[in-house]
Amino acid sequence: MHLEGRRFRYTMARVAETSLAREERLKRRRCQINQARNVSNSIIGPRSAFCYQPSNDYLGHSAFSMGRMEKVCNYCGAKKWSKEPLGLCCSNGQVKLNDIDEPPRILKELLIERDPRSIHFQKNIRKYNGCFAMTSFGGKEIREGNYMPTYKVHGQIYHLIGSLLPPSDTRAQFLQIYFTSEEEQLTLRHDSAPSRKREILETLQQILRENNSYVRSFTTAIEQMPHNKDNYKIVIHAEQRPLGEHRGRYNAPTTSEVAVLMVDEDCGFRDIVLRSRDSTFQRISELHRSYDPMQYPLIYIKG
């Protein structure tokens, strides 16, 4: 009844409208449409995603409306936006990923609890990860912002790894820290950024020593290092399968359906070779399965 009453009053107002009033109404309507069209073009123009304007009404624009995240994939259980196309999550069941391993209890508490210790860790988790990173992060060109706390990396990014031991009179860093004593590791990591809590660093160090396959292999390598020799090396082999993993998970391709074009690159095995003491750095291929686990050990807690 309310809607019908509004419709009746609107019709009667139009009937009683003079020609001059009608012209003024249509003129205002045209101005509103033009303004809306100009705002729409400015919002969805070229590179608009990189030119955020607080004054723009993004939520009111149809191009940015994806509905609510209320759909659930029938195959993988992923939550999806109501207007999100089918198949983006798992290609309708064709892609199947293993469940993410449950993190150790102490690490899980640091990640989800709201006590002061956990809140401090959550706010500084990237810095804590940097303390245990085994490789350094680099790029072709890094530009720092003038006033924004961000930076831009132009060109290819890469991870570098150095020798097992630092040159003489140089402090150990990144992977080299793992080849020192437990107490020295803790001191080096804390001294690099005193704002990080020593007890949390000690906890994370213990978790990695007990769970991370790389850290355990480094500990074994330390025990087997020949004394007074500088010509030994450790190889992280790209084809070697970790213990307990399915034999087909790391199989090499058996067909020629996938091809990679490499310019001015050797086509041999892309293993990581760590020499005892060397001033040079080795770039890790982004195709190597150790590329991410060695840079983000707190994500890949088991290596």
Establish if 45 belongs to a structural domain. no
Taking the C-alpha atoms of residue 52 and residue 44, their distance in angstroms, rounded to an integer, is: 11
Establish if 70 belongs to a structural domain. no
| The pLDDT value given to residue 1 | 57
Domain count for the chain, please give it: 1
Closest CA to 61 of 29, 83, 36: 36
Q: For 277, phi and psi rounded to 5 degrees?
A: -150, 115
Q: For 121, phi and psi rounded to 5 degrees?
A: -65, -45
| The pLDDT value given to residue 303 | 74
The whole-model pTM stands at 0.52
| The pLDDT value given to residue 203 | 92
Neighbours of 193 (CB within 10 A): 13
Establish if 190 belongs to a structural domain. yes
Domain limits for position 150: 124-245+252-295
Taking the C-alpha atoms of residue 69 and residue 81, their distance in angstroms, rounded to an integer, is: 4
Establish if 26 belongs to a structural domain. no
The alpha-helical segments, DSSP class H, found in 66-197 are 105-112, 116-123, 125-132, 182-192
Place of tokens 């991370």: 212
- Counting DSSP H helices and E strands in the chain, the numbers are 8, 7
Taking the C-alpha atoms of residue 109 and residue 105, their distance in angstroms, rounded to an integer, is: 6
Side-chain-side CA neighbours of 226 within 13 Å: the count stands at 9
| The pLDDT value given to residue 219 | 65
Establish if 104 belongs to a structural domain. no
The alpha-helical segments, DSSP class H, found in the chain are 2-16, 19-43, 105-112, 116-123, 125-132, 182-192, 198-211, 213-224
Establish if 281 belongs to a structural domain. yes
| The pLDDT value given to residue 253 | 44
Establish if 111 belongs to a structural domain. no
Establish if 112 belongs to a structural domain. no
The pLDDT tens digits along the chain (303 residues) read 566 777 777 777 777 788 888 888 888 888 777 766 665 555 666 666 667 777 776 666 666 666 778 889 988 888 888 878 788 888 888 988 887 788 899 999 999 999 999 999 999 998 898 888 877 665 544 555 555 545 454 445 545 555 566 566 667 666 777 777 788 888 888 887 788 898 999 999 899 888 888 888 776 655 555 555 555 555 555 555 555 555 555 454 444 444 333 334 443 444 444 444 455 555 555 666 777 787 888 888 887
